[in-house]
Amino acid sequence: MEPGISLCMIVKDEEDGLRRCLESVRGIVDEIIIVDTGSADDTLRIAALYGAKIIRAEWNGDFAAARNQSLTAATQPWILVLDADEVWGQTEQMKTGLTHLLSGSPDHVWGYWIKVTSLLGRSGEERVTDAVCRLFRNDRRITFKGKIHEEVASSILAFVPEGLVHSELEVLHYGYLEEAIVRKNKTERNMRLIRSALNDGADEQPELLYALAAEWFQQGKYNEALRLLEPLLARLGPSCGYHSDLVLKTAYALRESGRPERALDVVQAWTTVYADFADVLELGAVLELDLGREEAALDWLKKARSAAKTTGQYTSVSGAGTYRSLTLEGIALERLGRWEEAEAAYIAALAAQPGNMAAWQRLLLLAAATGRPNAIADAASRAPLPSAVWQALVPAALDAHRPQWLLRHAAPLAAVLRQQPLAAGLALAQLGEDAAARVSLQPWAAHAQLGPEASLALWALGCKRSAGRALARAGAHQPLHSRTACALPAAALAAGALLSGSAPGNSAPGTAPCSAAPVPRAEAAAPPPGVHAAAEALARVGAWAAWLRLLRALPQGAAPSLLAALPPAARCGLLRAPASVREGLLELFGLPPAMQQPFTDEMPATARATEALLAGTLALLAGRQTAAQEWAMRARHIALQPSASGRPATTLGSPGLHTLLRLTSPGAAATEGFASRCNMLFVHL
């Protein structure tokens, strides 16, 4: 005889998800108990359709109390707890697995850990799994605790220390999707409940302090979270049900607040306890990469991949120990110059998760920067790449100036190219077929949505043909083409004003600042609106001479900032520009300031360091090893400055700085793969 199950729930205004939830347990549970705390929508009618026993209760801000009220009404020997935004796994294997599990449960087992998989983002593209006790015996000693983030496991373990075991059962949770969080305003609700409980004198309860820290963490307020997380970590041990998550959140928050070495100390301190927790092992690898220690990162990743099979008992992000670890492995191998191994890691990551955009983008840029286009074909042939990946390939390939890849994958890209009709014209422009590109782009100039972008591309083609001078002479006010009434976009007009020298505050066209003194950024004028789009259009069609003239015409200090803000694929495209263009870019940075020269501007240290890294890498690409070394030391000097809080720096800066310092060390230029490493640094600053 199969043991009976009572489904126990608490709800309020859950008409959007309740039907889906109850439908998922049809034929699985024997009764449904619902405590309603004041629904004003269609929730109660839906519950009645499924034969639920409804208990109306006044909401008092205590989730545990409401849960316990539902438990007292249950009549079956086992209790299953779900929320209205969750569904029971609807596979036949889950149904039979539950039956076998309960019918064969030993007397010493009082409850089961169930994997709760929460969908994240807009459509569940990311997932977090957690082990939660949701299935347990109906016994008056078993009750929920906690006004918020309530749990039942501690009450079972209090009288049966070995009474909980893991199961293969799974619940899918929709409540962390962006739409659900906004609709229910969960963040504000949770903060209100936690503060209310703390104000009631419960400030000694670590569960509430942890809940508050978790809310700060979710909001990205890591310093606020750390004020609670670090004391809790010093106070609590692994017997606390959320200790593994406490370790992970503390280390992650330390990293995000600029203390990677302290974060690594936390991870290393608990590695022996959590040697089977892939997420914390992966974080160890990320921290080693932050500190420029790639070989050490690979060791951490090897452990993470070994631990992947047992990570189900922890709160874990999708891909931990599998495709995410493989992607990180590829990054570490990239920095070591082991291109073939990096490609293999990315391809393996894509085989495990074809929709892994991070691996796909890294592979694309690796192939472009090192001249290994076959890697793209290998990945496409080994994994059935989803449409979203093909959609992303087109603009990335164009940014990277690799139109040949689009031709190679013309068949699978056919539908995508129909949705991105300007891509064909841009690819033709990059192949040097400017006349054909103009013919391809011209019909779209008057299109309601694509017209501005098409017009800007046609303007850029005109600049390419005339090296950027015709627009300046014409004053940028003439119609784009006699066959269309579409005028030049605002971005082209702004760029034309700069090229003609009529924009206020800029230097004379064709000149570049070469002074060794740093430019006071607080006094520099911002580039006119739209100039970034114009510069992007010029680069897209390969109008390099006009592009460089436009950057030179920008207010002093604006061009390096624009370059630093370019996405990796666009920086990769600059590698296809003539060497003279990259030489011209280097001139925009001037000479490396002397080490003893003080910082006189108001520019943030991170921006100053990025500019120094960019200048040093451009110097490497130009073969100026001495200048590159001076810029590298300048970046190091910036990184070692005390932060705004007065705390001394604890690290030498970003992984890009570590790589630049290695590439500018004596004898580095003679090593194998030096040029490719310089390219990769330029792409992945």
What whole-number distance in Å separates Cα of residue 251 and Cα of residue 658? 22
* DSSP-assigned letter for residue 11: E
Query: Is the pLDDT confidence value at 441 over 90?
Result: yes
Q: Name the most confidently modeled range: 414-418, 452-456, 564-568.
A: 452-456
What whole-number distance in Å separates Cα of residue 536 and Cα of residue 399? 9
What whole-number distance in Å separates Cα of residue 681 and Cα of residue 483? 45
Residue type, 290: D
What whole-number distance in Å separates Cα of residue 163 and Cα of residue 654? 47
Q: Which residues contact 629 (CB under 8 A, 6 or more apart)?
A: 616, 664
Is residue 612 within 8 A of residue 656, CB to CB? The reply is no
pLDDT tens digits along 449-475: 999 999 999 999 999 887 644 444 433
Helix (H) or strand (E) holding 32: strand 31-36
Low-confidence winner among 50-54, 439-443, 461-465, 647-651 (lowest mean pLDDT): 647-651
Domain ranges in the chain?
5-172, 186-401, 421-556, 557-685
Query: Is the pLDDT confidence value at 178 over 50?
Result: yes
Per-residue pLDDT band at 401 (split at 50, 70, 90): very high
Query: Is the pLDDT confidence value at 159 over 90?
Result: yes
Question: Please, how many CA atoms are within 13 Å of residue 571, restricted to the half-sphere of its CB?
Answer: 23
pLDDT tens digits along 268-296: 999 999 999 999 999 999 999 999 899 99
210 vs 265, higher pLDDT: 265
Q: Which residues contact 228 (CB under 8 A, 6 or more apart)?
A: 209, 210, 212, 213, 216
pLDDT of amino acid 487: 61
Q: Residues 83, 89, 90, 93: what is their CA dihedral angle, to the nearest 10 degrees? A: -150
Q: How many other CB atoms are there within 10 angstroms of residue 598's CB atom?
A: 6
Query: Is the pLDDT confidence value at 430 over 50?
Result: yes
pLDDT tens digits along 114-144: 999 998 877 777 788 888 999 999 999 999 9
pLDDT of amino acid 388: 81
Is residue 678 within 8 A of residue 621, CB to CB? The reply is yes
Give residue 121's region: left, alpha or beta (phi > 0; psi -120 to 50): left
Q: Name the most confidently modeled range: 376-390, 551-565, 645-659.
A: 551-565
Superfamily of structural domain 186-401: Tetratricopeptide repeat domain (1.25.40.10)
Mean pLDDT, the chain, integer = 84
**Which CATH code, of 3.20.20.70, 3.30.310.50, 1.20.210.10, 3.90.550.10, is assigned to 5-172?**
3.90.550.10
Locate all alpha helices (DSSP H) within 270-373, ordered by sequence: 278-290, 294-307, 323-335, 339-352, 357-370
pLDDT tens digits along 626-645: 999 999 998 888 877 765 55
Q: Which two tokens stand for residue 337?
A: 């110059």
pLDDT tens digits along 51-108: 999 999 999 888 999 999 999 999 999 999 999 999 998 677 777 778 888 888 899 9
